Structure 1
Amino acid sequence: MKPLHFASGILSFAASAWACFLVLAPVATHAAEIERQGRLLLVSGMLDGSEIASFIDHLSSGTVRTVVLEDSFGGTAEAAGAFADAIRASGVETEVRGQCMAACAYAFLAGKTHRFGDGFQVNGVMLPVAARPTAAELAVRWRDDAHRTLADFTPGAAAAPKVIEASADGRGARDNWQPEHGVLFTASPSLFGRIYNAFYCDGTQGRDFSKCERLPDADPFKLGVLTP
């Protein structure tokens, strides 16, 4: 009976991890932090542009193979573009461990390959969108280059999406994207491998992602969000 107990334990752990991910406690966002670990470059915190010079220097060395984005929340569209450009130019791979929201998500997509990290943690990447995408839009939106979607949130966009408006605190429209309004792709561990899901979150759910709408037939590999 031991194998049964083991299986039950794994399933219970996976369910607990998934529940913790879906209903998150408020997270204190902090500026980006960068740490070099051999050929890995770890990035955590909010991508606000404060560490972009250091980030570019590390990538320019030619000795970084993978940028690991770990529990990164928020950031500006301009910072997302800067990190993504540096990643794309250097040809490095990207990996998400834990949660990668908003600016982090677009930096993630710029990798030569972009994957979720191994381990028992639940991984998730949230890509901001201006409106709920149709099935046809999902099929092509992130397949090639994320900078085309980023153009919705940066200067030079042909038409600003409705959700991007000047805020009461004086922030410009290009920085006023909503990191909790977008499409969330998740991977949770199970006894039989990882289970992938996709959700549309309209922003009203706050940090409780269990309130998001599940999107059927939104395989992150087929949509180009994850690479094999």
Structure 2
Amino acid sequence: MKLRYHIVVALAVGATSVASVAAEIELEGSRLIVSGMLDGSALPEFVMHVNNSRIRTVMFDNSIGGSAEVAEAYAQAIRSKGLSTEARGQCQAACAYAFLAGKEHRFGRGGQVNALLIPLPRKPTQAELATGGWRSDEARHAAPPAPAPAAESVNVASAASASASSDAPASDAGPAPKEAWMPGKGILFTSSPTFFGRVYNTYYCDGNQGADLSRCERMSDADPYKLGVLTQ
């Protein structure tokens, strides 16, 4: 109980401190660090750096919020270069979608609590978790459709224009992504440091919990490695 309390407090504080910060890009050797909201403001700079052959990993550091269209532009750039991704601290909604586009995706190292919130319209069943259905049919309503095979390099102008289309009408496949990506609603994967190594937990949050993540429902048999959410 005490461990979970500390997780909840750390996540609530982290969410409060980064929720409204616009995206910032920082180059650190072969690693590109993205922090803040994926609102499209830093997308051209991101794509420019991704097209640099030195980049091997994109780290999302405390990134909460953003539009589905911008998330897809980030994801397309990551896929086109076969980059790995890391999530350090908070990574929610748009960030989670871009994070999962990595060739390999893992939580960042260090003493912080890491949390990945993947938006979903409802709690998946155990059968969907076992078969991967929660990442296909259901995910289709919570994330934009997968793109066509990417070209050798990403065009900055076309990627940036994607950020301006967040008010596009919904398709027949389901509700518009901006409607499905309810704040705080989806599966929450957490990783917390302890004296005995990291502890991983999974919760389903219905979006009504606000900053009180203790109201999220603990999920069993939802190990992030078994589900392919983390690969390393």
- TM-score band, normalised by the shorter chain? 0.7 to 0.9
Q: CA deviation at 1:151?
A: 3.2
Q: CA deviation at 1:136?
A: 2.0
| Identity between Structure 1 and Structure 2 (%) | 52
Q: Note the 1:91-102 alignment, pairs <5 A.
A: 91-102=82-93
Unaligned runs of 5+ in 1: 1-11, 165-172
Corresponding position: 1:124 with 2:138 = no
Letter in 1 for 2:172: A
3-state SS of 1:75 partner: coil
Partner of residue 68 from structure 2, selected from 69, 77, 84:
77
Partner of residue 42 from structure 1, selected from 29, 33, 40:
33
Corresponding position: 1:150 with 2:164 = no
Corresponding position: 1:211 with 2:215 = yes
| Cα distance in 1 between the residues matched to 2:110 and 2:6 | 12
Aligned residues: 204
Q: CA deviation at 1:18?
A: 2.0
What do residues 124-157 of structure 1 show as CA deviations (whole Å, max 9, x unaligned)?
100000111111222314769x985623798674
Corresponding position: 1:194 with 2:187 = no
| Cα distance in 1 between the residues matched to 2:57 and 2:169 | 29
| Cα distance in 1 between the residues matched to 2:133 and 2:58 | 23
Corresponding position: 1:59 with 2:63 = no
| Cα distance in 1 between the residues matched to 2:65 and 2:114 | 16
| Cα distance in 2 between the residues matched to 1:117 and 1:54 | 23
Q: CA deviation at 1:61?
A: 1.0
3-state SS of 2:80 partner: helix
Q: CA deviation at 1:19?
A: 4.1
What do residues 41-87 of structure 1 show as CA deviations (whole Å, max 9, x unaligned)?
01001101121111111010111111010000111111111111111
Instruction: Give the alignment's TM-score, normalised by structure 2.
Output: 0.79
Who wins on radius of gyration, i.e. which is larger?
1
3-state SS of 2:9 partner: helix
3-state SS of 1:151 partner: coil
Q: Quote the RMSD (CA, aligned, Å).
A: 2.5
| Cα distance in 1 between the residues matched to 2:209 and 2:133 | 23
Unaligned runs of 5+ in 2: 146-165
